[in-house]
Amino acid sequence: MTERISNRKNEILIEKLRIQGITDKTILNIMEKVPREIFVEKIFLQQAYENIALPIQCDQTMSQPYVVAYMISCLNLQKNDEVLEIGTGSGYQTAILSYLCKHVYTIERINKLLIQAKKNIEKLNIKNITYKLGNGMTECLEKEIFDGIIISAASSIIPKKLLKKLKKGKCLIMPKQYRFGSQKLII
């Protein structure tokens, strides 16, 4: 009974994303397949399928589904692509990315979040993810070049070091922090 209610709420969320302009059917189908309730704190289960950001552990937030879908769609991922994600969080976006590409390399700076994300993703039996604890804005990965880079946390600087890790013609997307707290997604 509860699973059927969650599925219906997820279907409603996906329809709202379509209305808001998310047109990539593959991304929408995957978002419908990935149960967001796995990635939210128990206290927020009733809101798991609302199109809102939700608090997670360590005073961090999980992006709203529209932002996740929009950012991922901007990467124009192909099945054989390898993606770098900075800011694993609870693992929701990581899981979605894993269904869209060959491999996801994800970096999280908070160990408690990284451990929880791994547990969340294990529930879905996903195997094409490499996890790393660290600051993805400053630390290097063993992998030299990526087909896309997605940064979840806002930054006031555009990380030139990461731009050098992109294949020619590929994208990095991130929320850029401006004065007085405003943010804007930039590609």
Residues with catalytic roles: 63
User: In the numeric block, which tokens belong to residue 185?
Assistant: 């997604």
User: Residue 7: CB partners within 8 Å, gap ≥ 6?
Assistant: none
Radius of gyration, CA atoms only, the chain: 16
Q: How far apart are CA 36 and CA 177, in angstroms?
A: 27
Which residue shows structure tokens 């050098």?
A: 164
User: In the numeric block, which tokens belong to residue 148?
Assistant: 């896309």
Q: Strands 60-62, 129-133: parallel, antiparallel or unpaired by DSSP?
A: unpaired
Rounded to 10 deg, the angle between the 111-122 and 92-100 helix axes is: 50
Please check whether residue 129 is in contact with residue 99, taking contact to mean a CB–CB distance below 8 angstroms: no
Sign of CA dihedral 69, 77, 30, 128: negative
